[in-house]
Amino acid sequence: MGEQRWAEVDGYLTELFGGADPALAAAQEAGRAAGMPDISVSAEQGRLLRVLARAVHARAILEVGTLAGFSTIWLARSLPPGGRLISLEAVPLHAEVARSNLARAGLADVAEVRLGPAAESMAELDATGAGPFDLVFIDADKPGYPEYLSWALKLTRPGSLIVADNVVRGGALADLDNTEPNVAGVRQYLELVAAEPRLTATALQTVGAKGWDGLSIAVVEAG
């Protein structure tokens, strides 16, 4: 029992809900071949992103933290015809591998990877009136989460979703003696989300192929 069984159940569920997907498998492999870390969302977390995007009829999606574009592919595939996705990535190699993975998945015209520090790109999106986005997925550097939340609130509308990955971090979230910057970043993010009157929100722990972690899901309210 334990971690191995968590991964087995993820394998079972992925087989049940979709089976092998050539474009997603190729994207993972290209990231691995380029020496990138294996820290994308799991297949079932990707499918949750898709369910959420479909539930709010998302036509415009913003992702913060692209890596090889695994979650990007899940989200971009959720869009209706004419929908668009912008994904923000600071590392040139990651952006390059992600663009090639998106092209292989047939999503080059739907999903755009913007290179640069996410906070700068979000400021520019706001300045150029690019929003509102129907779903924002925050998954870049964890100390940046609080700042990404404040931009996300500017770039969304009532009814939009703001989703954040990796907020539980093997349980470190609730160990208040743990002030490591990644843990402190997600903890402050959740405190801000919880205190924000414009958000109705929760965070859920997850176990599976990616170990023990969790996602925060918030819906933007009017006001």
Q: Which residue has the CB atom at the shortest distance from Mg ion?
A: 165
Q: Answer for the pair 73, 24: CB distance below 8 angstroms, yes or no.
A: yes
List, in order, residues 6 or more apart from 201 with CB less than 8 Å away: 162, 193, 194, 216, 217, 218, 219
Interaction residues for Mg ion, span 105-144 (CB under 5 A):
139
The span from the CA of 8 to the CA of 77, in Å, is 26
For ligand DHB, the binding residue among 139, 173, 190, 193 (CB under 6 A) is 139
Q: Which residue has the CB atom at the shortest distance from ligand DHB?
A: 39
Interaction residues for ligand SAH, span 43-102 (CB under 6 A):
65-67, 70-71, 88-91, 94
Q: Answer for the pair 137, 107: CB distance below 8 angstroms, yes or no.
A: no
Report the partner that residue 13 touches, choosing among ligand DHB, ligand SAH, Mg ion, none (CB closer than 5 to 8 A by kind): none
Distance in Å, CB of 147 to ligand SAH, minimum: 9
The span from the CA of 95 to the CA of 20, in Å, is 24
The span from the CA of 48 to the CA of 159, in Å, is 18
Taking CB under 6 A as the rule, does residue 42 contact ligand SAH? no
Binding-site string for ligand DHB from residue 159 to residue 178, where x marks contact by CB under 6 A and - marks none: ------xx------------
Reported in sequence order, the residue ranges of the chain that DSSP labels E, i.e. its strands, are: 60-64, 84-89, 111-115, 135-138, 161-164, 199-208, 211-220
One-letter amino acid at 92 equals P
Residue ranges in contact with ligand DHB by CB under 6 A: 39, 139, 165-166
Residue ranges in contact with Mg ion by CB under 5 A: 139, 165-166
Residue ranges in contact with ligand SAH by CB under 6 A: 39-41, 65-67, 70-71, 88-91, 94, 117-118, 139-141, 144
